[in-house]
Amino acid sequence: MTSADSSKALSRRKFLESTSAALVAVASGSALAQETKAPRTPNHTAPYESEPGPKNPQLDDQNTSSNWSPETDAGGQPPFKYPFSFAHKRIEGGGWTRQVTVRDLPISKKMAGVQMRLIKGGVRELHWHVGAEWAYMIYGQARITAVDQQGRGFVDDVKAGDLWIFPGGIPHSIQGIGDDGAFFLLVFDDGNFNEFETFLLTDWLHHTPSEVLAKNFEVSSEVFAKVPPRELFIFERDLPRDLAEEKKQAEAINGGVPNPFAFFTDSMAATKVTKGGQVKIIDAKNFAATNIAVAIVTLKPGGLRELHWHPNEDEWQYYVKGKGRMGVFAAGGRARTMDFQAGDVGYVDKSTPHYVENTGEEDLVFLEVFPTPHYEDISLAEWMAHTPSRLVNQHLETGEEFLNKLQKKETVIAPL
């Protein structure tokens, strides 16, 4: 060691000492306190790991990363998971719906989600809302309709895997068709959204005097005698007519919407494929009408969605199929890992780094949804690969050989 090196080492040690002193000072009165950790034992048999008393083994088994967190977890990061199973299910004649909003999951300030089942012929009535509605078809088939600000019509049929977007304020409807209707996920760019308080056609007309309706349409008020006395919301009716016929009617005179509100995911190749899985990114670049971006991620057993973050927006997640765990580093020494099953919602704040790992025996499919037209991310590997290797090595001491071999192109999904 040269004298210059030893003085560097000395000043580094001094720096470390002064930072740990500062940390102790902060820790004494702060939620950011570092946990003292007793090591986990393989079967959790240490005296300090014992769990006397009644418990809920099913829930514990589904949430091992909370119950026996990785030793790297620390601090009081609140939960970023909410299962749809906890949500109240509103059941109507034509199907059912339930929602997860910021009122249920406090971290989810910018987005909310809805699950909806429409039986064959089941109609989600003509309505609109302030926020935009983005959808992912999970099962079956549906007929969707909308009209834009210039009176241009939109009618189409969607199937499992397809998406739609209804921009804020655009009136629309959904009807289950095919052999067994549809089941789908809706995502709204408003955490406080409420599916039970949308602008419904029947609710509005029921709350408008019939003489005003008669004047508005220049007909006798008798025409509105059968407007239902309460909202229909989700109800069962006959199946729609032929698609071409309904499309033609909706597009008469003004034409159709210039950018279709539906997107057929099987029409595109995967954006990235590795041995560990694949991802399809659908945003305004390939789905012009959308102001909500998505990454549809499939991870093979053991597959890893690499360490990354999103500099432009919060991420709302939905676990479609399989089992996984997500690790989130929330700065200030706080880190938390949580487990996810099909039907769970996850949430990550803008620029907060995270990874997702398939912990099951089948493929894990999940959605990363963003309230922005443009998908953006930065991966840890990409950052390190494009920073001088000398500088990164001065932090991590991995050796520059490893750093110089890093992929210069983002991987997205770590190869197995």
Amino acid at 24: V
Nearer to Mn ion, 231 or 368 (CB): 368
Nearer to Mn ion, 82 or 193 (CB): 193
- E-state strands within 199-292: 199-200, 234-236, 262-263, 272-274, 277-282
Nearer to Mn ion, 92 or 368 (CB): 368
Verify whether residue 245 is a known catalytic residue.
no
Nearer to Mn ion, 133 or 382 (CB): 133
Contacts with 160 (C-beta within 8 Å, 6 or more apart), sequence order: 137, 138, 139, 140, 141
Nearer to Mn ion, 158 or 403 (CB): 158
Q: 410 is written with which tokens? A: 């983002």
* Minimum CB distance to Mn ion, residue 36 (Å): 31
Q: 175 is written with which tokens? A: 């009807």
Amino acid at 266: D
* Minimum CB distance to Mn ion, residue 50 (Å): 37
Element (H, E) at 13: helix 3-27
Q: How far apart are alpha carbons 262 and 269 in whole angstroms?
A: 17
Q: Is 261 exposed, middle or buried (0-12, 13-18, 19+ CB in 10 A)?
A: buried
Q: Comparing C-alpha atoms, which of 258, 262, 267, 265 is closest to residue 243?
A: 262
Contact criterion met (CB below 8 Å) for 349 and 81: no
Contact criterion met (CB below 8 Å) for 338 and 79: yes
* Minimum CB distance to Mn ion, residue 127 (Å): 6
* Minimum CB distance to Mn ion, residue 330 (Å): 14
* Minimum CB distance to Mn ion, residue 190 (Å): 12
* Minimum CB distance to Mn ion, residue 269 (Å): 21
Point out the catalytic residue in the list 231, 368, 376, 397. 368
Q: Comparing C-alpha atoms, which of 124, 126, 112 is closest to residue 186?
A: 112
Binding residues (CB under 5 A) for Mn ion: these are 133, 315, 368
Q: How far apart are alpha carbons 335 and 114 in whole angstroms?
A: 28
* Minimum CB distance to Mn ion, residue 26 (Å): 29
Nearer to Mn ion, 92 or 315 (CB): 315
Q: How far apart are alpha carbons 84 and 187 in whole angstroms?
A: 13
Q: Comparing C-alpha atoms, which of 360, 271, 354, 269 is closest to residue 305?
A: 354
Judged by DSSP in three states, 361 sits in coil
Element (H, E) at 213: helix 210-217
CA distances from 315 to 58, 164, 285 (A): 28, 18, 19
Nearer to Mn ion, 224 or 280 (CB): 280
Q: How far apart are alpha carbons 250 and 263 in whole angstroms?
A: 19
Nearer to Mn ion, 156 or 368 (CB): 368
* Minimum CB distance to Mn ion, residue 379 (Å): 10
Give the CB-nearest residue to Mn ion: 133
Contact criterion met (CB below 8 Å) for 185 and 113: yes
* Active site residue ranges: 368
